[in-house]
Amino acid sequence: MTDAIKIDVWSDIACPWCYIGKRNLENGLAAAAADEDAPEVEVVFHSFELSPDTPVDFDGGEAEYLATHKGVSTEQAQQMLERVTGVAADAGLAYRFDLLKHTNTVKAHELLHYAKEQGRQAVLAERLMSAYFTEGRHLGEEDELVSLAADAGLDADGAREALRSGRFLAAVRADQAQASAYGINGVPFFVIDGKYGVSGAQPADAFAQIVRQVWAEHREPADVDA
Kindly state the percentage of the chain with pLDDT values over 70: 96
Position 226 in a domain: no
Query: Is the pLDDT at 206 greater than 80, yes or no?
Result: yes
Across residues 119-131, what is the average pLDDT? Answer: 98
Query: Is the pLDDT at 112 greater than 70, yes or no?
Result: yes
Position 223 in a domain: no
Q: What is the pLDDT of residue 226?
A: 43
pTM for this structure? 0.94
3-state secondary structure labels for all residues of the chain: CCCCEEEEEEECCCCHHHHHHHHHHHHHHHHHHCCCCCCCEEEEEEECCCCCCCCCCCCCCHHHHHHHHHCCCHHHHHHHHHHHHHHHHHCCCCCCCCCCCCCCCHHHHHHHHHHHHCCCHHHHHHHHHHHHHHCCCCCCCHHHHHHHHHHCCCCHHHHHHHHHHCCCHHHHHHHHHHHHHHCCCCCCEEEECCCEEEECCCCHHHHHHHHHHHHHHHHHHHHHHC
Position 4 in a domain: no
Position 216 in a domain: no
Position 76 in a domain: yes
Confidence of residue 219 (pLDDT cuts 50, 70, 90): confident
Domain housing 168? 13-210
Query: Is the pLDDT at 1 greater than 60, yes or no?
Result: no
Q: What is the CATH number of the domain that holds 140?
A: 3.40.30.10
Position 140 in a domain: yes
Query: What domain count does the chain have?
Result: 1
Position 5 in a domain: no
